[in-house]
Amino acid sequence: MATHEWAREHIPALTVLLSAVSLALVFGAVLGMVPAGVLPRSALLLTLVPHLNALISLTAIGTILAGIREIQRGNVARHRVRMLASFGLFAAFLLLYLYRVTILGPSEFPGPETVRTYLYLPFLAVHVSLAVFCVPFVFYALLSAETRPAAEIPDTNHRRAGRVAAGLWLVSFCMGLVIYALLYHVY
């Protein structure tokens, strides 16, 4: 059986595997379980990562919305390009985030303790929860689309998973921009 056919028959298992690996990398980096010494240290890049990730997030919001618009218009080819671009942006964001958090750890909130306790931390918790929850939906939608011809996709759960993934992605990216603003501009 060819790799493509095998993947097509094992989408749920691959979704679980890819989700588990992705989330293990994120939580491993955040919890300091990834050794910082294995990565090259660039002070300039470490300084730029939050700003680059804000730009990536803003761009991803645009590509997700454009992808939704294209599928609503029935343009599957353009939808595919936009959603693959969104996934690529998500991957770039994640790699940059993991690089920074592995070396420096999570960013400390620089504002007042009351704002941290009653606004920032609850908002961050919702953002992180949505980001974690969207990962399997993103992988499922991507795998179901990439392993089948476009004509077969309506017979799968791609549309349902894609709607959930796009909605969660959009809210998570928007919330991430608010967190960025709070950390690097408001306080």
User: pTM to 2 decimals?
Assistant: 0.91
User: Would you state the pLDDT for residue 71?
Assistant: 95
User: Would you state the pLDDT for residue 181?
Assistant: 97
For the stretch 99-153, pLDDT in tens is 999 999 999 999 999 999 999 999 999 999 999 999 999 999 999 999 988 888 8
Cβ atoms < 10 Å from Cβ of 56: 22
pLDDT at 173 over 70: yes
Set out the domains of the chain in order of their start, with CATH numbers: 3-186 (1.20.120)
pLDDT at 43 over 90: yes
User: Would you state the pLDDT for residue 1?
Assistant: 60
Average pLDDT of the chain to the nearest whole number: 94
User: Would you state the pLDDT for residue 157?
Assistant: 92
Q: How far is CA 129 from CA 80, 134, 153, 175, in A?
A: 26, 9, 28, 11
